[in-house]
Amino acid sequence: MALSVVTISDLFRGIPPEDLERIVRLFTERKYPKGATIFQRGDRGEALYIVKDGLVKLASHSGRGTVTILHLLPAGSIFGEILLAEERRAFTALAETDALVSALPKPSLVHLLSTVPAFSMNFIRLLSRRLAKVDIELAGFGHTWSYHRLEKMLLKLGRSTG
């Protein structure tokens, strides 16, 4: 795998080059056509993923057939990180466009978190950003009308995905 995954994700910021080469060898690349399932709710959490190219949609499916889009993730985004807290996937990940994804097996992730301090700090920083974003959106959810939330979401999607 080329080192390009290293240049697109903040997960690798500040890691010495000799560690980066070792880390990159732990990842495998997977291609998914538009609409393909990367993992489903209830699957075992076996890897951390980084979007290398394309868009990945994280979605929650209700028992009544409705779908809630949780995130649309562009290149450089990590997902599947909840594998350290939950044994089973809590939502579904789908290729929103043709997508190239790099996967890091769970044992390798645990090893890196315990041996590469910069990797650990970057991982914590990315998780903290995601948590802050969710908290801010949740706080705004209760204070606005549904059409205002829809307007904000459409504007946000337009800015981020065109």
The secondary structure of 63-125, three-state, reads CCCCEEEEEEECCCCEECHHHHCCCECCCEEEECCCEEEEEEEHHHHHHHHHHCHHHHHHHHH
Structure tokens at 132: 């802050």
Q: What is the mean pLDDT of the chain?
A: 87
Asked if residue 79 has pLDDT above 80, the reply is yes
**CATH code for the structural domain at 4-161:** 2.60.120.10
CA distance 83 to 100: 20
Give, to the nearest 10 degrees, the angle between helix 146-161 and helix 117-141.
140
C-alpha 12/C-alpha 10 separation (Å) is: 5
- Helix (H) / strand (E) element for 37: namely strand 37-39
Determine the average pLDDT of the residues in 109-127.
Answer: 94
Report how far residue 136's alpha carbon sits from residue 80's, in angstroms, rounded to the nearest whole number: 21
Instruction: Name 54's bridge partners.
Output: none
Work out the pLDDT band at 2, boundaries 50, 70, 90.
Answer: very low
Question: Pick from 99, 58, 42: which is nearest to 75 by CA?
Answer: 99
- pLDDT at site 47: 97
CA atoms within a 13 Å half-sphere pointing along the CA-CB vector of 153: 16
- Whether this prediction's pTM lies above 0.75 is answered by yes
Instruction: Supply φ then ψ for residue 142, to 5 degrees.
Output: -80, -10
